[in-house]
Amino acid sequence: MKKQNEFKVVLDELESSLLKQLSEADPATILDNKELIDNLEKTKATSISIQEQSEIAKITEIDINAQR
């Protein structure tokens, strides 16, 4: 359960950072914004990783509860 909360915090931080960068980006050059593109890629990779870890944690929690 603690891990699930940590995942949510990380995702919230990534989302906030990404939204800030998007709001500050110049629409005319948004596709050339290397920092923004890198952050998008990092956010996507982290999100996928957290989703996979979250699924594993849910299964583990179910297994633990079943053994009780």
Helix (H, G, I), strand (E, B) or coil at 55: helix
Over residues 6-46, the pLDDT tens digits come to 888 998 999 999 999 999 999 999 989 999 999 999 999 99
Over residues 46-68, the pLDDT tens digits come to 999 999 998 898 898 899 999 98
For the chain, what is the HEC assignment? CHHHHHHHHHHHHHHHHHHHHHHHCCCCCHHHCHHHHHHHHHHHHHHHHHHHHHHHHHHHHHHHHHHC
Number of folded domains that form the chain: 1
* Alpha-carbon gap, residue 21 to 49, rounded angstroms: 22
Residue pair 50/10 in contact by the 8 Å Cβ criterion: yes
Q: What is the pLDDT of residue 40?
A: 92
The range of the structural domain enclosing residue 30 comes to 2-67
